[in-house]
Amino acid sequence: MYPQVLLKNRKPDRIATLAEYRESGGYEGLARVLGQRSPDEVRKVLLDAILLGRGGAAFPAGVKMMTVADDAPFPRYLVCNADEMEPGTFKDRVLIHADPHQLIEGMVLAAYAVSAEKGIIFIRPEYESAARILEREIGIAREAGFLGKNVLGSGFNVELAVHRSGGRYICGEVTAQINALEGRRPNPRQAPPFPTEKGLWGKPTVLQNVETLCCIPHILRNGAQWFKELALTETGAGTKLFGISGRVNRPGCYELPMGVRLSEIIEEYAGGMKNGGEFKACLPGGASTSYLTRDHYHIEMDFDALRRVGNRLGTGAIMVFDRETCMVAATLNLIEFFARESCGWCTPCREGIPYIRDILARIEAGEGEPGDIPALKTICKHLWYAYCAFAPGAVSPVEGLLTHFEDEVAAHIHEKKCPFKGS
Ligand SMILES: Cc1cc2nc3c(=O)[nH]c(=O)nc-3n(C[C@H](O)[C@H](O)[C@H](O)COP(=O)(O)O)c2cc1C
Ligand code: SF4
């Protein structure tokens, strides 16, 4: 059993209370930091810990916080991204339901690091129970002196609020989220200027994922070196929540060291393949990553190792497919989601993704033509030039399909039917 850090207070039937969080060392990091370490020192510790963003882009949290200039204007904002609409991803919900004070402490510490006095949790509307838990526990933390005015007598003030999203996937993208919070149409904004310079209402804004923020109390209590040593690989740091779903016996959310092998996650934690099936492929980090195949079965699951094989660890949401799965149908299912969720702001994405969906639907229905494969490849290339990261993410599984399973696509076209369906 590997050390449990973020999920150590997880219980099968209820959330951890403030008292339980404190018994496990909760709010100790905050007490040690406030009044004893400067915001700059806190940012330096996060930088040394190599805390990479857990929301999908793997950007170093310490670097992002450092980009808030010393003389940047006030007020400054901290936004917690709890949008979590990436298909297959459910780790942030688990974190909030398991131990909400861990997130609250992480937000207070992150706010202190960038001298923000207002923190907003942007949460998807389907997570109403998580939003209510947070609202209640924020009140409890305030009464206990962990947030509000003069936190723990340090002179630092910070307030937290929960904001329910209108409910579109694009609202998870950082600049679209800022537009949404301002009540505007949630299409992405041009950057630069980056949000840390000009974000919410034109003021410096630091936006981090739930899991990233949850790591912060532990790093400040135990040190950067401790955090790095949690990982199994030289290039990794910390633990990672892996949300595993699909053709496995025990789907669920598992906290494992960064760098753990994919085969170990599937066999030891997810209970192996369902019905004794054979592993065919998986998405390693949500719907906007590419496929890993049997050749990658023992890959070390950290950001660097995935990058080296042209993929991404993304959110760590692993979706597993077995030999019985038609990869055309699986990819069609994903692209249908992306076609629905394109914000429509730029032409390549608004037009290109539905076009890919239509071609894949024809192929799956046995009506594909030999020219469809090169056409798909060309459209996918164009989508890398769309306005925001949504489009490259959307085509990642399609490119994975064409790279690793082109034979399967060709068989659909050649046989004029889906080879996985009975005739
Ligand atoms: C279309 C799209 C959707 C996204 N959805 C989320 C999301 O739901 N949650 C999240 O934390 N990051 C999401 N991201 C990534 C954010 O833009 C951003 O990189 C992240 O929230 C920053 O926090 P981190 O550095 O702690 O990961 C999304 C990005 C894109 C392009
Ligand atoms: S790439 Fe898609 S989601 Fe991003 S701005 Fe263009 S239309 Fe909107």
Contacts of range 350-359, beta carbons closer than 8 Å, 24 or more positions apart: 352/379, 352/382, 352/383, 352/386, 352/391, 353/383, 353/391, 353/394, 353/395, 355/379, 356/380, 356/395, 356/398, 357/332
Residue nearest (by alpha carbon) to ligand 1 atom 19: 57
Residue nearest (by alpha carbon) to ligand 1 atom 17: 173
Instruction: Report domain extents, the chain.
Output: 18-229, 239-321, 327-415
Nearest-ligand number for the alpha carbon of 354: 2
Distance 405 CA to ligand 2 centre (A): 27
Element (H, E) at 354: helix 347-364
Q: What are phi and psi of 284, to 5 degrees?
A: -85, -20
Matching CATH number, 327-415, of 3.40.1260.10, 1.20.1440.230, 1.20.1260.10, 1.10.3720.10: 1.20.1440.230
> Among 94, 95, 173, 340, which residue has the most ligand 1 atoms within 8 Å of its CB, making it the best to mutate?
173
Residue nearest (by alpha carbon) to ligand 1 atom 6: 172
Distance 108 CA to ligand 2 centre (A): 32
Please answer whether residues 111 and 39 qualify as being in contact, where contact means their C-beta atoms are separated by less than 8 angstroms: no
Which residues lie closer than 8 Å to 291 by C-beta, 6 or more apart?
281, 282, 283, 327, 397, 400, 401, 403, 404, 405
Contact 170 CB / ligand 1 (< 6 Å): yes
Minimum-distance ligand 1 atom for the alpha carbon of 212 = 26
Please answer whether residues 89 and 135 qualify as being in contact, where contact means their C-beta atoms are separated by less than 8 angstroms: no
Residue nearest (by alpha carbon) to ligand 1 atom 22: 208
Contact 207 CB / ligand 1 (< 6 Å): yes
Q: Does domain 239-321 have CATH number 3.40.50.2300?
A: no
**Superfamily covering domain 18-229:** NADH-ubiquinone oxidoreductase 51kDa subunit (3.40.50.11540)
Pocket of ligand 2 (CB under 6 A): 170, 187-188, 342-346, 349-350, 386-388, 390-391
Please answer whether residues 8 and 94 qualify as being in contact, where contact means their C-beta atoms are separated by less than 8 angstroms: no
Neighbours of 273 (CB within 10 A): 20
Please answer whether residues 64 and 196 qualify as being in contact, where contact means their C-beta atoms are separated by less than 8 angstroms: yes
Residue nearest (by alpha carbon) to ligand 2 atom 8: 343
Distance 377 CA to ligand 2 centre (A): 19
Centroid of chain to Cα 289 = 11
Q: What is the pLDDT along the chain (423 residues), one digit of tens a residue?
A: 899 999 999 999 999 999 999 999 999 999 999 989 999 999 999 999 999 999 999 999 999 999 999 999 999 999 999 999 999 999 999 999 999 999 999 999 999 999 999 999 999 999 999 999 999 999 999 999 999 999 999 999 999 999 999 999 999 999 999 999 999 999 999 999 999 999 999 999 999 999 999 999 999 999 999 999 999 999 999 999 999 999 999 999 999 999 999 999 999 999 999 999 999 999 999 999 999 999 999 999 999 999 999 999 999 999 999 999 999 999 999 999 999 999 999 999 999 999 999 999 999 999 999 999 999 999 999 999 999 999 999 999 999 999 999 999 999 999 999 999 875
Minimum-distance ligand 1 atom for the alpha carbon of 64 = 25
Nearest-ligand number for the alpha carbon of 388: 2
Contact 172 CB / ligand 1 (< 6 Å): yes
Distance 284 CA to ligand 2 centre (A): 23
Residue nearest (by alpha carbon) to ligand 1 atom 30: 173
Same fold, 18-229 and 327-415: no
